[in-house]
Structure formats: C-alpha cells, structure tokens
Chain A
Amino acid sequence: MAHDGFLGGSFHQLAWPLDAALQAQPHAEMGAGVGVGVAGGGWEHEAGERIESALSSLVSPSLAVAGGVHEAALMDELASRLGGVCGGLGGGVAASPPSSRYASCYSTPVSSPGKSALPVSSLVAADTMVAERATRLSGLAVGGPGGRKLSRVESSQSLLGEPAAMAALAGDVLLPASDGASRDAPSRKRKAPGAKTKVKDGTAATAIAKSPEPGTRAKRCKLSPDAARDDEQQNQATGEAGHDGGSAKGKDAASEPPKDYIHVRARRGQATDSHSLAERVRREKISERMKLLQDLVPGCNKVTGKAVMLDEIINYVQSLQRQVEFLSMKLSAVNPRLDFDVDDFLPKDVILIHLSIMNTMKKATTFDTHIKSCAVFSSVRLNFQQASEPSVPAPPPPPPPSCSMERPSPAICYRSSQGTAMQSVVSSPVPSLDGFHISGNSQAGSIWEDDLQSVVLMGLFRCNQHMIG
C-alpha cells in the first residue's frame, strides 16, 4: 500500500496489541490499536500509556459495537493517512472485517510492551478537546499524504505531541454517533454527514457496508474538523443546503455549491447509477420524516428503530381516532341545548376566545365570572339596558368603546339584541342577520374584530344563560 513507504515500513515490525485482550471491547480495541499504533513507532512505553489513557478517556463505551466497527473503519483511513500509525487499529480490531484487511497487511504482531493492559475504563467523549485535537489531527492528516516528505521521526514526534489526536478523530466520529437522535441536514449528502447518518442509523454493518473504501474516509478525515461544527449546524439545518455547504466544506476542496435541490455524491465503492443515488436520497427523506414523527408522537424519544417507531405511530393514530369516537359519543349525549346560532358568527377569535375562557376558568367558578364578563361586553357594545341580570350582578356598564363600529355592525348588533331576551330560553329564533353571511374565511372577519366579538359573546352569553337556566 502506498503508505508503506511513509514511515519506512518499520511499522511492519510493530507489535500489534493483544487481540485477545481487546476482543471484548471494540472501542477498547480501537483505542488500543490507535494507541499502540501511535506508540508503536518506537516510542516510549509511557507515551503509549498516556496515549491509551487519553484515548480511552475520549472514546465512549456506549457505542460499543456499532461505533466501534465504524470507528475501526475510520481508523482504517487514518492508518492510510498516517502511514501505518493507524495500522495498529486494524490489528487491534481483529473482529471487524476491514481491520482484518489491515491485519493482513501488517502481519507481524506488534511487540510493544504492556499494551494488553489497556485502561479502557470510563470513556467519555470530550467535545471541545476532541474538536481541537481533531483539528490538529486533520492538519496532520491533510499533510500526511501530501507531505510524504515528512520524515518518520517528524511524523511520529508530531503524533506523539498529539497523544490523543488519533483518539480525537475517533472521538470526533463518535461525536455524531453519541449525538444519538440529533438530526443532521437530511437533504445534504456529504461524506462527513454521510458518515454521521450512517452512524445514526445505529447499524455499524450498514455503515461499513456503505463505506468500505478508505478513499472516501480520506475525505471524511479532512472534513473531521468541520464535523464538530457540522453537528451543531446540522442539528438545526433541515434543508439548508447552501449554508451547510459553505460552512462545513470551507476547507474541503470538494465543496458543494449552495443548491435548491439535493446534491448526492456517490461514495467510492458504491454504485453510482441514478437508481442507488435516488434510493439513498429516498432513505434520507424517510428517516427525516421519521424524526419528525418521533417528535410528534409522545414517548417516542427512547424508541429507536424504524419498525418499532412505525408501530408506535400506528398505535397513536389509532388511539387518537378512538378518542375522537369516544368524545363524539359524549358530545352527542351532552346537553343538547347547545342552541346558539353559530351561523351568526364569524370564524375569528371569537369562538376560540369563548372556549378558551371557558376552559381557563375552571368548572367550579366558571359560569359566574364568565357571564359577568359576557355581560360587561355585551352591555358595553350593544347598549344593553337589561345587561344587569337578576341572577348575575353585573357591574356598571363601562364607557362606550373607543373603537369605531362598522356601519352594518350596529344594525347587526341591534338586530341581534332585539331578538334577545336575556332571561328567555335561547330556543327563541335568533334573528337572522340578512346582510351578514358567513364567509367561512377569516378575511371578512378582520373588520369585525371587536364588534363581532361582542356579538358572539353576547350570543354565547345567551347560550350560557340558557344552559344555566
């Protein structure tokens, strides 16, 4: 492989970490591999320990299998970039197929001392630390292939200087994975977010299957410093292609132009025909919609996996429909004296105001205060002399409203007030408001805001009277 000559092939003699010890924890393996690889260049044992501890501190154990394998794949790429430093990864993660590839390349086990005892204890992803280290590492990575002139010593020392740089990259890749349900820009198909998407899918197998080639991961490594930033951006960006493209791909040569349609870039090793591309786009859209649904359906945040989500959604829709049925049954049985003529009112705030009033005021105290307020309103608007109810001590009518009434509205109000006997049963025919048709839209109602509020409230007041009496 090309990177063989990077460090003079001395890494072939590196003793890979003990695979047996690391089989249990893929992350540990990877971390160990990285640490070993980094340290394998003849560095001090202490340096290696430091690296391992730093790595372990950065790698999250929660993403055991999925992240691990994926990280192994990513580390693959790092290996190619840093000339076998990551090769230890491949040797370390003996379980994963990609690493086996590396294992075949680096056949001789690393005989670095004491790497078996990997202190992969508590693995915490430190975002900022990882980010800055990823930046440094990406600088190294970028400089890696281009600057083959880097001597072995230089590279190893620089890598030594960045003990957790490798882990930073690993952690960085783990960052999106640990984000869990955070959603990246769905319509954007870039290599870095592509990696994140796959990690979010939660199946390492698919991730590995989708990105088997180191070439693509090479590009992802370059994007890694932006990846941390990308995360925050993508968490909010839904379809904002240009924004993401401009910011994330700032330093990437392959930056996609701002667009209003979906750019899909085929990953290396994947079929590039339109069908698979469209398929991938479709899958992205579907997962985006599933995320939306997850927010809608209560209690679905912990659920992962499309099948379970779908079941939850179906159950929720069914339960809501059953609730509608039940409530309609209750409404049919409820007091049928709901006789207020809604046809007279416009679909504006009025009804909702009324309802919200009724709902906000709790049942125990509702009616008196509400009728009081209704009485106030109606008396004010319509110059109701009989606003003071015997049952309800109405406050003195406030001064006439300052808002001007439209010309027809006094007629309407007056007419409606004419037909109203506050004490009478509402079943008396409400005067038909001839010149006043329900348009069914709220545009006409914009004129009538105040006035018809009063009308409605007055009408509902009648209804309430009726319901009380």
Chain B
Amino acid sequence: MDGKRTTPPHPNPNPSSAALQAGAAAAAAESSKARMLAFHFLRALSRIHRVTPVRRRTRTIRRAAYSSMARAAGPRRAWSRALLGQARARRARRAVLVRRRVLTAAAPAPAAGGGGGRFIAAGGETSAAAAAAASRVLPPRQAGEPPRADALRRLVPGGDAMEYCSLLDETADYLRSLRAQVQLMQGLVDLFSCQ
C-alpha cells in the first residue's frame, strides 16, 4: 500500500490475548487506505446481504467492490474518479427508472407509457454511454504508443481519455488497489467460509 503508515497503536493496557495485539499491530501496519477499503466494502457487503435479492447479488457485490476501491483511492486518481462517475451514472439511471416506474404506478398510465419512459431513460443513458464509447475512438495522441495500449485503455477505468504516459501511471495505481481489493475479498471469503 502506498502512502501513510500510522504508528503502531498505543500499548494495550489489557492483558488480552496475544492474537489481539498481533492483529492490532498488523492492522496498524497497514495503511489507512486499506482500512478505508475494508470499511467501505464491509459496509456495502452487509447492506447488500440485507437488501439485495440473491440473484443480483454477484453483480452488486462486484460493483460495490469497485466503488469501495475507488473511494479508498481518493479523488486524486483518474481511474477512481471514472469509477465513481460510472457508479453515479448507474445510480442516476436507476433512479430515473424507478421514478418513472413509480409515476406510472401512481398515475394509471398505460403500460406502454411506462415502458416508453423506461426506454427513454435507458436510451438517454445509453446514448451518453455511446457518446463516451465513441470518444474512445479518438486517435492516440502519441506516436510512441504501442497498439496494445488500446486493450489497456479498455481495462483501466477512465483510460480512454488519457495519454499513454499517464495511462501507465494510472495502471500502476489501479493494479495496487486491485490487488488490495482481491486480498481483502479473499480474506473475507476465507473468514466466512471457515465454518
């Protein structure tokens, strides 16, 4: 993890088990970014398990993972901004749909109208997405960029609008965060499946 490393916590006055202190020390050795990651993700996870029906959980958990990753990374990074922007757009789209559904339910409009509203909203979102996708076709502004960089742009969120040099930088940070996220999730899976 990059950045801030906190000092080890003050000595625990309680003669608690060594495991606890070891755990505390280990936790303190991690950066605050890892803590933020764990916090956000766990919170989202608990909420998801409470709220979401089973069939859509995987997708939601995955999106929650990326969102927590982005939030832990902070707004300083282009990829985190892009991820959070995607999440926001998705939420807005769903809010629009829900609103339309509510409206159509409240006012007995014909189903076509409700469906049309949904399609319109979806169309608006998809057109925005299409515009974003079309902008990806913008030619690489640098000559020294290898052709494979296109695939990398697709992988890294927000990679379309970046120069090759900053793309590599963002990729490095994205990789670090991804690895932390995978470690966290793996730990959780181990934790919850150990019964």
Q: Which residues of A contact B (CB under 8 A)?
A: 279, 282-283, 285-286, 289-290, 292-293, 296-297, 306-307, 310-311, 313-314, 316-318, 320-321, 323-325, 327-332, 334-336, 338-343, 345-349, 351-361, 363, 366-367, 369-370, 372-373, 376-377, 380, 398, 401-403, 438, 442, 449, 453, 467-468
Contact = CB atoms under 8 A, between A and B. Distances in A.
Contact of A314 (B28, B151, B181, B184): B151
B155 A327 contact: no
A310 B146 contact: yes
Contacts of A321: 155, 178
B117 to A, nearest CB: 31
B182 A338 contact: no
A404 B181 CA distance: 35
B175 A403 contact: no
B39 A339 contact: no
B30 interface: yes
B190 A332 contact: no
Given A286-B144, A355-B191, A398-B16, A338 B46 contact: yes
A398 B58 contact: no
A338 B49 contact: yes
Nearest to B156: A317
A351 B175 contact: no
Contacts of A339: 46, 49-50
5 closest Cβ pairs, A-B complex: A347-B39, A357-B23, A332-B57, A289-B168, A363-B194
9 contacts: A307-B146, A328-B185, A339-B50, A352-B27, A354-B23, A355-B27, A363-B194, A376-B17, A398-B16
B74 to A, nearest CB: 11
A353 B23 contact: yes
Contacts, number: 206
Interface stretch (B7-15, B88-96, B106-114, B127-135): B7-15
Interface string B151-167: 11001100000001100
Nearest to B184: A355
B36 A442 contact: yes
Given A329-B58, A403-B13, A334 B34 contact: no
B152 to A, nearest CB: 6
Contact of B28 (A328, A349, A361, A363): A349
A352 B42 CA distance: 10
Interface residues of B, number: 73
Contact of A347 (B9, B36, B175): B36
A327 B54 CA distance: 15
B163 to A, nearest CB: 9
Interface in B17-66: 17, 19-20, 22-24, 26-28, 30, 32, 34-36, 38-40, 42-43, 45-46, 48-50, 54, 57-58, 60-62, 65-66
A373 B45 CA distance: 25
Contact of A349 (B9, B16, B164): B9
A349 B165 contact: no
B45 A331 contact: yes
A442 B32 contact: yes
Contacts of B26: 352-353, 356, 360
B187 interface: yes
A198 B130 CA distance: 43
A12 to B, nearest CB: 44
Given A334-B189, A338-B49, A349 B24 contact: yes
Contacts of B22: 357, 360
B86 interface: no
Given A311-B148, A314-B155, A349-B27, A343 B43 contact: yes
Contact of B155 (A317, A343, A367): A317
A325 to B, nearest CB: 6
B98 interface: no
Nearest to A370: B19
B144 A283 contact: yes
Nearest to B182: A323
A373 B16 CA distance: 6
B61 A328 contact: yes
A366 B187 CA distance: 13
Contacts of A330: 189, 193
> By CB atoms of chain A within 10 A, which of B10, B17, B60 has the most?
B17
A317 B175 contact: yes
A86 B19 CA distance: 69
B20 to A, nearest CB: 4
Given A343-B43, A349-B9, A369 B168 contact: no
B172 A335 contact: no
> By CB atoms of chain B within 10 A, which of A353, A358, A366, A442 has the most?
A353
A271 B54 CA distance: 64
A367 B182 CA distance: 23
B15 A398 contact: yes
Contact of A297 (B19, B66, B175, B182): B175
